Amino acid sequence: MATALDTAQRARSAALALQAAPTELKNRALRRIHDTIRANKAEILAANRADLEVEAGTLSASLYKRLDLAGPRDSKFEALLQGILDVVELEDPVGKVTLASQLDNGLDLLRVQCPVGVILIIFEARPEVVVQISSLVLKSGNAVVLKGGKEAAASNQALWASIQQALASLSRDGDDVDGNDGGDASGASASKAAIPPDAVQLVSSRDAVTDLLKLDGLIDLVIPRGSASLVKHVRETTRIPVLSHADGICSVYVDRDADARMAADVAVDSKTNYPAACNAAETLLVHADAAASHLPVVGGALLARGVQLRCDAAALAVLREAHPADAAAGRIVPATQADFDTEFLELVMAVAVVCDVDAAIAHINAHGSKHTDAIVTASEACAKRFMANVDAAAVYWNASTRFTDGFRYGFGAEVGVSTNKTHVRGPVGLEGLMIYRYRIYGNGHTVAPYNSGERTYHRAAIPLEQAQVRV
């Protein structure tokens, strides 16, 4: 079995070889992966059934459902295949010029997007992550080391084997292909017109991950996707940059100037559309002036959907009076302080009355997890204030917190959701897998004459389209 060091070094070599691969080659690889997985459908679903049989009874219903790769009438499997073709359609992010400026006559500065390098993905349950992430990683010119959970070991292995089979077959027909790519502007030599299979590696043991997390010289980015405890463990045990979110403690704030019906709709969707999601709301805040008028409506709508409300004293008084039957049935209860710092992930919501929008902002900045927070209000000034001062990846005005999602945002694909304060934040598409290089195009330019004052910089912006053709 390969050591972690060997795995990472092969990934690094693959990343260096793949970083300048032509778009058409990468798309051809993705289509080949699609075709191979489709052709291997029977074996892949058999492997998945084997995983499901091993885990039957030990996993919760929702985890079991996530582990299932086929879905109703194979709809999940078909969606997985379509996902690969969707990535083919995405614009190639490599080589995109994002800044261009003339520094002096004949001396041009360009900022050009390039892959981050080697990405380590640690995930649980969902085996389709193998395919989704591999597609995004190849399209963006990166290499990836995948570590899945043991509950999906056979499924992950079967999907990965298909990817390897596809890349190997692409490599074998490389000679045909190279003839067509001979005029490629990157100057890639014909012998390299293949995707190194080491660009997608799969490891299965926990020890391998422990060792990989130490290789900060070889691995550029870690993305843990799974439970909060997985994410926290990874963050605490590596010096490699981690792209992640741990908790999702999202809030809905109902302002004095909110429409009560709209507030109820937004709160119900945010809480109940998919309570186990990280973008589900856990906390409801209501302006004191709207407590009597709005809280019974919003609370009533939540109670009608089976949500237990854990309330501060002010909210408790209003809701008990408005909904005595629910109170008697234990669906309206006093909140503990810890309830405002808890990601319930079920039909439970903490409720508090706040004196104004600034108090709502302060509450969220103290208790939230910097993921997604929404305000419901008709006041543009309050909405602007909320969106400018709540320190979260996503801040919404009159919309459900559930919109925080790469597909809903129209990013085409999602690597994960980040609550980081650097690199990328919120739903992360291909952009999170990119960094850039600065290029200078000179004519033998040296800094000495500029330092001495003999020459001075003559700066001017270069239109990006004009700069793009030079890359």
Pick out residues in 41-80 that bind a second copy (CB under 8 A): none
Site for a second copy in 233-252 (CB under 8 A): 235-236, 239, 241, 243
Contact indicator for 115, 140 with CB cutoff of 8 Å: yes
Contact with a second copy (CB under 8 A): which of 153, 228, 464, 471? 471
**Beta 348-354 vs 308-311: how paired, if at all?**
parallel
Closest CA to 429 of 57, 27, 86, 12: 86
Closest to a second copy by CB, 38 or 445: 445
The answer to whether residue 365 forms part of the interface with a second copy (CB under 8 A) is: yes
Stretch that binds a second copy, among 51-59, 75-83, 223-231, 397-405 (CB under 8 A): 397-405
The answer to whether residue 439 forms part of the interface with a second copy (CB under 8 A) is: yes
Instruction: For residues 309 and 340, give the distance between their C-alpha atoms in angstroms, rounded to a whole number.
Output: 12
Q: How far is the CB of 424 from a second copy (least distance, A)?
A: 8
Residues forming beta bridges with residue 145, ordered by sequence position: 120, 201
Closest to a second copy by CB, 152 or 281: 281
Long-range contacts of 223-226 (CB under 8 A, 24+ apart): 223/119, 223/120, 223/121, 223/122, 223/415, 223/416, 224/121, 224/122, 224/123, 225/121, 225/122, 225/123, 225/124, 225/129, 225/416, 226/122, 226/123, 226/124, 226/125, 226/149
Stretch that binds a second copy, among 268-276, 305-313, 314-322, 326-334 (CB under 8 A): 268-276
Give 199-266 as a DSSP string.
Answer: GEEEE--HHHHHHHTT-TTT--EEEEES-HHHHHHHHHH-SS-B-------EEEEE-TT--HHHHHHH
Closest to a second copy by CB, 111 or 320: 111
The answer to whether residue 206 forms part of the interface with a second copy (CB under 8 A) is: no
Q: How far is the CB of 159 from a second copy (least distance, A)?
A: 26
Instruction: For residues 286 and 301, give the distance between their C-alpha atoms in angstroms, rounded to a whole number.
Output: 15
Instruction: For residues 340 and 326, give the distance between their C-alpha atoms in angstroms, rounded to a whole number.
Output: 21
The answer to whether residue 183 forms part of the interface with a second copy (CB under 8 A) is: no
Q: How far is the CB of 324 from a second copy (least distance, A)?
A: 28
The answer to whether residue 204 forms part of the interface with a second copy (CB under 8 A) is: no
Closest to a second copy by CB, 188 or 345: 188
Stretch that binds a second copy, among 3-11, 39-47, 56-64, 114-122 (CB under 8 A): 114-122
Instruction: For residues 276 and 344, give the distance between their C-alpha atoms in angstroms, rounded to a whole number.
Output: 8
Q: How far is the CB of 434 from a second copy (least distance, A)?
A: 10
Closest to a second copy by CB, 267 or 335: 267
The answer to whether residue 228 forms part of the interface with a second copy (CB under 8 A) is: no
Question: Which element (helix H / strand E) includes 145?
Answer: strand 143-147
Q: How far is the CB of 55 from a second copy (least distance, A)?
A: 27
Report CA-CA distances (Å) from 68 to 55, 61, 232.
11, 11, 26
The answer to whether residue 331 forms part of the interface with a second copy (CB under 8 A) is: no
Instruction: For residues 290 and 46, give the distance between their C-alpha atoms in angstroms, rounded to a whole number.
Output: 56
The answer to whether residue 384 forms part of the interface with a second copy (CB under 8 A) is: yes
Contact with a second copy (CB under 8 A): which of 48, 140, 377, 404? 404
The answer to whether residue 215 forms part of the interface with a second copy (CB under 8 A) is: no
Contact with a second copy (CB under 8 A): which of 65, 172, 206, 408? 408
The answer to whether residue 393 forms part of the interface with a second copy (CB under 8 A) is: yes
